[in-house]
Amino acid sequence: MKIKTRLKIIKGKYFFVPLVDVIFLLLIFFVLCSSFVQVTAISIKLPSVKGQLTSAEKLVVTIDKNDKYYFNDQVMDIKTLKEQLARIATKYQVESIIVRADKDALHGVVTNVLSLANSLNLNVYFAVSEIPGTKPVSIETD
């Protein structure tokens, strides 16, 4: 015996607006919660230090283990580096630079950048790797 039902299957339309809203909310959530890390293509080994670590977002001078100078990821010699730093420091009133030097870079090459920054009255911050178990300390000024 076959039983017939009087119920009809109602096929509705798919509404994609709520789905798009949820996807945008998830996108906004992940963008706000993610940390943005500056990734460079220059491979260097940063030395480890003990003490307070500060964070600053300024101009970056990188020195690799082959003693090449990079200014914001562009290769240049010391003369061009001096011209670029002088131009940018006066134009944008920058007061400090970050030096990322490979731990195998020669001391004299790093000293050249330090004396260059000193001649331009720029503060120098060294980028170093963290020692496991230590946390960066941010220094707040009033």
Q: How far apart are CA 123 and CA 118, in angstroms?
A: 7
The predicted pLDDT at position 55 comes to: 41
Contact 116, 81 (CB under 8 A): yes
Walk me through the domains of the chain, giving residue ranges and CATH numbers.
43-142 (3.30.420)
Q: How far apart are CA 81 and CA 28, in angstroms?
A: 39
Whether the full predicted model's pTM is greater than 0.85, yes or no, is no
Which residues are CB-neighbours of 70 under 8 A, at least 6 positions away? 42, 61, 62, 63, 64, 76
Give me the residues of the chain with pLDDT under 70, please: 35-42, 44, 46-47, 49-58, 130-142
